[in-house]
Homo-oligomer: A and B are copies of this chain.
Amino acid sequence: MHGLNGSQHRREESVVIGFVGGGSRDWAEKLMNLLALTEEFGGTVRLYDLDYESARTNAELGRKIQRQEAAVGDWSYEAVETLEAALDGADFVVCSTQDPPSETFAHDLDVPQEYGLHQTVGDTVGPGGTFRALRSIPQYREIAAAVREHCPDAWVFNFTNPMTVCTRTLYEEYPDINAVGICHEVYHVQEWLADLAAEHLDIDEPAYEEVDVTVKGVNHFTWIDEATLGGRDLFEAVDAELATRDPPSYEPGDPAIADMSVYGTNHEVTLDLYRRYGILPAAGDRHLVEFVPWYLDPVEAPADIHRWGIKLTPSSHRVESWPEAMAEREAILSGEEPVDISHPGEEMVDLMTALLGHGAVKTNVNVPNQGQCPDLPEGAVVETNALLTEDSLTPLTAGTLPAPVRSLVETHVTNQETLVEAGFAGDLDLAFRAFRNEPLVTLDPADIEALFADLVEAERDYLDAYDIAGADVLH
C-alpha cells in the first residue's frame, strides 16, 4: 500500500513556475487566480512571451491579484525576456501559446470554407487542426530542447492545441521529459453526468469530482465506457436522458441555439454517437463532429450545422476575442474593472499540489501510451486517467475500445503520428498524406490538393521549418 494522503517526508521548497506564452489572455489569468487561492505552497512565476509587453502586463496583473485580500498564497510574478530565463531551474513549465489569429487561425477556418468545408472549432483535426499542428511542431521542439537544457526534471504542463500533437512533439524531441497535456473537456462531461444523475436518478446535486469515468482515446475524441457515482451506473441516467429527446432538428432561431455561446453544446451528437456505439464520447459536440465525416460533410450552408444544436465558431470571433481580452485586462489593471479572484474550474494547480506531495489526484491526462490503451499504438499520445502522487504521474489502464470506435480513433492517431514525422522532417508531402486522410476532407482529389496549397500560401510566414520549394504536392 502506498499512502495517498500526502507524504510526511516531502521536500518543502519555494516553487518556480516558468510560463511559456506568458502573455496568454486566458490560461495565465486562470493560473494566477488558482495560485492565489492555494495554501499548500508558494513561489515565483516567470512569464515569457514573444510579445514581451503582454507578459509584462500579466505580471502586473498577477501582482495585483496577490494584493487582494482573498489571495492566501504567496507568489511573486516577473516577466522575462528569454525562454532560458523562464525555464532555468524551473519546477514546473506551463505552455500556452498561440500565433496571431488574424494571420493563422482565421485562415485555418476561412480558406476551407471557400471549398465548402465548415469547421466548428478547427484547432485539433481537420484542415485547421492539421495546419495548427504544422505550425506548432517546430515551436514545441524548441520548448522541449530548452527544457532538456535548463530544467530537465521539471513537470511540463501543456494547454495548447492541438493537444496530442504538441505533447507528442515534446516527447519526440526529449523522450525523458515529464510532460503532460491537460484539457478540461472531460470535466465538462463529468459535470453533465452529474446533472443527469441529479435529474434522472434523484441524486442530490453531486459535484463533478464525484463522477468517476473511465476515459480513453485521443484528446477531444475520448470515450467513456464506465461512469459511476457512489457505485451507481450513470449510463442509466444517460439512457433516461436519451429517452426524453426527439431527433435533433434545432433551428437557428431556437433559444437553445440563439442564446448559446459558440462554445456551448446540447449534447445531441454525444447522444447520437452513444446510441450507435454503446459508449459515451467525452468531449463537446463541437469537437466531436470534426472527427467523423457524417455531421459536417453534407452541410450545404453553415446553418445546417445548427440542426445538431451546435454553432460554428467563426474566424471573426477568434480574431476579435484577442483585442477584447487585452482591453479587459487593461481595464482591470487601471482599476476600471474590479479584480475577481474566483476558482476558474480548472485543475492545473491541483495537479501541481499532488506532484509536490500534498496528496494524490486522479484525473485525465494526455501522455504517451505505455499500455493504458492496449489497442492503440505504443508511444502515441493518448488521453486516459492517471494517478498523480509526489513527483510521479502514472496512467491507469483503461482497457480496449469497441472495434468500430477503435477504427475511428486510430485514423486520427495515424494522422497525428504522421504529422509529427512530417514536422520533424519539414516534409509537406508527408503532411499532405495526413491532411488527405482527415475524415472531414472528403473533397474531390484535385480540390484537396488546391486547398492544401492555398493554406500553405496563406500561412507561409509560419511554415519556414518546411521545405515548401521541394514539396511535390505544391507543384
Chain A stretch 211-232: residues in CB contact (< 8 A) with chain B: 211-214, 228-232
Q: Which residues in B have their C-beta under 8 angstroms from that of A325?
A: none
Cβ–Cβ contact B390 & A230, under 8 A: yes
**A-B residue pairs in contact (CB < 8 Å), sample of 5:** A231-B357, A231-B390, A362-B389, A370-B374, A371-B371
A293–B442 contact, CB under 8 A?
Answer: yes
Would you list which residues of chain A between 426 and 445 have a CB under 8 Å from chain B? 432-434, 436-437, 439, 442-445
A378 within 8 A of B: yes
Q: Does A297 contact B378, Cβ atoms closer than 8 Å?
A: no
Within A310-336, which residues are at the interface with B (CB < 8 Å)? none
The answer to whether A211 and B2 touch (CB under 8 A), given A230-B357, A372-B397, is yes
Q: Complex formed: what's the CA distance from A294 to B435 in Å?
A: 12
For chain A, the count of residues having a C-beta within 8 Å of the partner chain is 89
CB A151 to nearest CB in B, in angstroms, measures: 16
Residues of A within 8 A of B (CB): 1-4, 7-11, 187, 190, 203-204, 206-214, 228-232, 247, 272, 275-277, 293-295, 297-298, 347, 350, 357, 359-363, 370-374, 378, 385, 387, 389-392, 394-399, 402-404, 406-408, 410-411, 414-415, 417-418, 432-434, 436-437, 439, 442-448, 472
Determine how close the nearest CB of chain B comes to the CB of A408; give it in whole angstroms. Answer: 7
Inter-subunit contact B210/A9 (CB<8 Å): yes
Cβ-defined partner of A228 (8 Å) among B213, B391, B396: B391
Interface centre among A294, A371, A389, A446, by most B CB within 10 Å?
A371
Give every chain B residue within 8 A of A208 (Cβ-Cβ): 1
CB distance from A231 to the nearest CB of B (A): 4
* Closest 5 pairs (CB-CB, A-B): A9-B230, A371-B371, A371-B374, A407-B414, A1-B363
Residues of B near A276 (CB, < 8 A) are 432-433, 436
A411 and B418 in contact (CB under 8 A), knowing A445-B272, A445-B294?
no
- Which of B2, B187, B399, B402 sits near A1, CB closer than 8 Å? B187
Report A215 CB to chain B, min CB distance, Å.
10
Tell me if B213 and A2 are in contact (CB < 8 A). yes
| List of B residues within 8 angstroms of A206 by Cβ | 8-9
Known contacts A11-B230, A209-B3; decide if A362 and B360 are in contact (CB<8 Å). yes
Supplied contacts A276-B433, A374-B378, A407-B411, 7 more A-B pairs, CB within 8 Å: A1-B361, A247-B446, A294-B445, A370-B397, A395-B396, A395-B397, A442-B442
Whole-angstrom distance between the Cβ of A421 and the nearest chain B Cβ: 8
**Chain B residues within 8 Å of A436, by CB:** 276, 294, 404
Given contacts A187-B1, A294-B445, contact A417 B390 (CB under 8 A): no
How far apart are A274's CB and chain B's nearest CB, in angstroms? 12
- A11 cross-chain contacts in B, Cβ below 8 A: 230-232
Cβ A231 vs Cβ B391 within 8 A = yes
Nearest B residue to A433 by beta-carbon distance? Answer: B404
* The one of B212, B394, B432 that contacts A397, using a Cβ cutoff of 8 Å: B394
List of B residues within 8 angstroms of A445 by Cβ: 272, 294-295
Assess whether B396 is in contact with A2, with CB atoms less than 8 Å apart. Answer: no
- Distance in Å: Cβ of A161 to nearest Cβ of chain B: 20
